[in-house]
Amino acid sequence: MDPVANEFSVLEQICRPGKQDDARVVIGPGDDLALVRTVAPGGDVDLQSGSLLLAGVDQLIDGIHVSLKDVGLKAAGRKAITRSLSDIAAMAGRPVATLVSAVVPVGMSGAEALELFESMKQVAAHYHAPLVGGDLAYHQDEHGVLNCSVTVLAVPPSDGAIERFGSKAGDGLYVTGKLGGAWQGAHHLTFEPRLAEASMLKAILGERLHAMIDISDGLGRDASHLVERSGLQVVLEGELLPCRDGSDLIGAVQDGEDYELLFTASGDVPEGLGACSVTRIGSIRERDTADEPSVLLLHDGEEHDVSCSGWEHGAK
């Protein structure tokens, strides 16, 4: 492993095939959420009993995911919850509950901590993911910044969660809403997790909805996750990308923080889900050779490798 850890090299080590040997783990590390079967351990696990539970944890860190001094505690609390709920949407799940463990800076008052947790509690309740537990600790180091770790629990659709890895050659590639400029504007603080839209998609497309992810790190990088562990390639058509007002093609490809759904499907796909637009932005095809880029952007007659366009935690 690299001497300096980065998010994906660490996750790759954890996710290596063969390391997951508990039969109750249906989807292990590496997707937006894990999927587990809720049966007791030991003996012969009855894989038809118990129920299925989606679970995941993510964190919001001051200076990385928000600038607390600029946005304030209420907005930071909102984003801590909504970005985790967006992962539920990516699996087409329905929220059940939320837990929050926060480490707060030296000197944060009780009233401020209450404001933060009240915000998270209200937002979680709004999306039917009640805050049911957690923890609060203070940094000992005066340089320690706010860090909210948010765990979400959810139930998958009755016929299975939508994973990142089910794309097929010939699929269309689609995105909800618009892309780009989310960090420069207010979108990353005010977005609505696409929970309802994901459920609608699953209901409308059924088995034709092959793979899905939410765009947090950037379209290029997140699209590359759709074709990991496969011989497939994502082809993005630049002129089709729906750019958010004030953004452009480059922003749409690499900015991230959109929290829109990126999915692949066969056959006809609706152009909208309620008030939310759905845009076809490309397709999935077989890679001719293993060293071809996993995500190719076609624009003005040129091809660009955008597989690494976006944000990677820990990258230098």
Cβ proximity to Mg ion: between 15 and 298 the closer is 15
Nearer to Mg ion, 104 or 307 (CB): 307
Distance of closest approach, residue 212 Cβ to Mg ion, in angstroms = 10
Distance of CA 158 to the CA centre of its chain: 21
Shortest Å distance, C-beta 30 to Mg ion = 11
Binding to Mg ion (CB under 5 A): which residues in 214-243?
Answer: 214
Q: Which residue is nearest to Mg ion (CB)?
A: 32
Q: Which residues of 231-253 are buried (b: 16+ CB within 10 A; e: fewer)?
A: ebbbbbebeebbbbeebebebbb
Residue type, 207: E
Instruction: Using the minimum distance from each CB to Mg ion, give the nearer residue, 152 or 236.
Output: 152
Cβ atoms 179, 244 nearer than 8 A: yes
Which window, 40-48, 49-57, 86-94, 256-264, contacts Mg ion (CB under 5 A)?
A: 86-94
- The pairing of strands 131-138 and 94-104 is parallel
Which parts of 122-181 interact with Mg ion (CB under 5 A)?
none
**Minimum CB–partner distance for residue 215 and Mg ion (Å):** 8
Asked whether position 32 contacts Mg ion by CB under 5 A, the answer is yes
CB of 143 to Mg ion, least distance (A): 29
Which tokens belong to 208? 């034709």
| Beta carbon nearer to Mg ion, 55 or 108 | 55
Alpha-carbon distance of 170 to 266, in angstroms, equals 7
Question: Which span sits near Mg ion by CB under 5 A: 1-9, 31-39, 97-105, 225-233?
Answer: 31-39
For the chain, report the end-to-end CA distance as a whole number of angstroms: 15
Choose between 171 and 214: whose C-beta lies nearer to Mg ion.
214
d(CA 58, CA 29): 13
Q: How far, in Å, CA of 252 to CA of 254, rounded?
A: 6
Q: Is residue 58 involved in binding Mg ion (CB under 5 A)? A: no
What's the gap between Cα 181 and its chain centre? 17
Task: Report H helices in 256-312.
Answer: none
Output the smallest distance, CB 306 to Mg ion, in A: 18
User: Of 104 and 260, which has the nearer Cβ to Mg ion?
Assistant: 260
- Determine if 87 is a binding residue for Mg ion (CB under 5 A): yes
Q: Smallest gap, in angstroms, from Cβ of residue 315 to Mg ion?
A: 17
**Rounded to whole angstroms, how far apart are CA atoms 290 and 292?**
6
C-alpha span between 173 and 182 (Å, rounded):
21
Q: Which residues contact 264 (CB under 8 A, 6 or more apart)?
A: 166, 167, 168, 171, 172, 173, 174, 210, 211, 212, 226, 284
C-beta of 11: minimal distance to Mg ion in Å? 12
Type of residue found at 80 = A
Q: Which is nearer to Mg ion, 93 or 181 (CB)?
A: 93
Closest distance between Mg ion and the C-beta of residue 83, in Å?
Answer: 8
The DSSP bridge pattern shows strands 172-176 and 261-265 to be antiparallel
Query: From CA 125, how far away is CA 98, in angstroms rounded?
Result: 9
Which part of the chain contacts Mg ion (CB under 5 A), choosing from 29-37, 138-146, 175-183, 235-243?
29-37
C-beta of 73 vs 213, nearer to Mg ion: 213
Judged by beta carbon, residue 90 or residue 104, the one nearer Mg ion is: 90
Window contacting Mg ion (CB under 5 A); options: 17-25, 207-215, 259-267, 299-307: 207-215
Q: Minimum Å distance from CB 229 to Mg ion?
A: 17
Can you give the binding site for Mg ion, defined by CB under 5 A? 32, 87, 214
